[in-house]
Amino acid sequence: MDLARRSFHHQTLLLFSLICLSHVSGTQFSFPRLGALRRTIRNRPEAESESISSVSKDFKTLFYSQTLDHFNYKPESFTRFPQRYVINSKYWGGPNTSSPILVYFGAEESLDYDLFGIGFLRDNAPRFKALQVYIEHRFYGKSVPFGSMEEALRNASIRGYFTSAQAIADYAAVILHIKKTLSAKDSPVIVIGGSYGGMLAAWFRLKYPHVALGALASSAPILYFDDLAPQVGYYAIVTKDFKETSESCYETIRKSWDEIDKVASEFNGLSILSKRFKTCKKLKRSFDLKDYLDSIYSEVAQYDYPPTYPLNIVCHGIDGAPKGTDTLGRIVAGVVAYMGNKSCYDMEEFNHPTDETYMGWRWQTCSEMVMPIGHEHSASMFPPSPFNLNKFIRKCKSLFGVQPRPHWVTTYYGGHDLKLILHRFGSNIIFSNGLRDPYSSGGVLENISESVVAVYTVNGSHCLDLLPEMKTDPPWLIKQRKTEVQIIKSWILKYYTDLIEFRDRT
Between 425 and 185, whose confidence is greater? Answer: 185
**Averaged over 282-304, what is the pLDDT?**
96
Q: How confident is the model at residue 171 (pLDDT cuts 50, 70, 90)?
A: very high
Is the domain covering 45-226+410-505 a CATH 3.40.1390.10 domain? no
Query: How do residues 74-110 score in pLDDT, each as one tens digit?
Result: 998 999 999 999 999 999 999 889 999 999 999 999 9
Per-residue pLDDT at 425: 84
* pLDDT at 11 (0 to 100): 41
Question: How many angstroms separate the CA atoms of 377 and 231, rounded?
Answer: 10
Pairing of strands 101-105, 80-88: unpaired
* 40-54, 356-370, 408-422, 480-494: the lowest-pLDDT one: 40-54
H-run or E-run covering 103: strand 101-105
Mean pLDDT score across all residues of the chain: 89
Say yes or no to pLDDT of 303 above 90: yes
Minimal CA–CA distance to 209: which of 193, 187, 191, 228?
191
Question: In the chain, which residues fall in CATH 1.20.120.980?
Answer: 230-389
Tell me, rounded to whole angstroms, the distance of Cα 504 from its chain centroid: 44
pLDDT of 28:
66
Residue 412, judged by CB atoms within 10 A of its CB (0-12, 13-18, 19+), counts as middle
Q: How large a percentage of the chain has pLDDT more than 90?
A: 76
Distance CA 84, CA 86 (A): 7
Q: Where does residue 214 rank: exposed (0-12), middle (13-18), buried (19+ CB within 10 A)?
A: buried
Catalytic positions: 195, 437, 462
The band of 337, judged by pLDDT with boundaries at 50, 70 and 90, is very high
Q: Which of 23-32, 87-96, 113-122 comes out lowest in average pLDDT? A: 23-32
Q: Which of 35-49, 208-222, 255-269, 414-428 has the lowest mean pLDDT?
A: 35-49
How many C-alpha atoms does 255 have within 13 Å on its Cβ side? 13
**What pLDDT is attached to residue 86?**
97
Write down the pLDDT at residue 419: 77
The one-letter code for the residue type at 190 is I
Mean per-residue pLDDT, 345-369: 89
Nearest residue to 135 via CA among 107, 164, 161:
107
Answer yes or no: is pLDDT of 148 > 80. Answer: yes
The string of pLDDT tens digits covering residues 172-188 is: 999 999 999 999 999 99
Cβ atoms of residues 170 and 83 within 8 Å: yes
From 7-11, 199-203, 405-409, 498-502, the region with the lowest mean pLDDT: 7-11
Q: What is the DSSP letter of 85?
A: E
| pLDDT over threshold 90, residue 272 | yes
The sign of the torsion formed by the CA atoms of 142, 148, 150, 156 equals: negative
Average pLDDT over residues 453-468: 97
Tell me how far CA of residue 376 lies from CA of 239, 250, 265, 369, 388, in angstroms: 12, 17, 24, 21, 11
Residue 266: pLDDT above 50? Answer: yes
| DSSP 8-state code for residue 109 | S
Which residue type does 215 have? Answer: A
Range(s) within the chain of domains with CATH label 3.40.50.1820: 45-226+410-505
Using 50, 70 and 90 to split pLDDT, how confident is the model at 497? Answer: very high
Cβ-count burial of 461 within 10 angstroms (0-12 exposed, 13-18 middle, 19+ buried)? buried
Rounded mean pLDDT, 250-267: 97
Mean pLDDT of 320-336: 97
CATH 1.20.120.980 corresponds to the domain 230-389: yes
Q: Shortest CA distance to 309 belongs to which of 244, 379, 380?
A: 244
| Model confidence, pTM | 0.92
Share of the chain above pLDDT 70, in %: 91
The confidence band for 492, taking pLDDT boundaries of 50, 70 and 90, is very high
Q: How far apart are CA 225 and CA 127, in angstroms?
A: 36
Q: How confident is residue 3, by pLDDT bands cut at 50, 70 and 90?
A: very low
d(Cα 448, Cα 200) in Å, to the nearest integer?
19
Band (pLDDT 50/70/90 cuts) for residue 14 is very low
Cα dihedral 386→390→392→398 (10° resolution): -150
pLDDT band, residue 344 (cuts 50/70/90): very high
**With 60 as the cut, is the pLDDT of residue 9 above it?**
no
Region 239-262 average pLDDT: 97
Decide if pLDDT at 130 tops 70: yes
Q: Is 79 exposed, middle or buried (0-12, 13-18, 19+ CB in 10 A)?
A: middle
Radius of gyration of the chain (CA): 23
Is the confidence at residue 124, as pLDDT, over 80?
yes
Contact partners, residue 225, CB within 8 Å, separation at least 6: 370, 371, 372, 406, 409, 410, 415, 442
Distance CA 290, CA 314 (A): 16
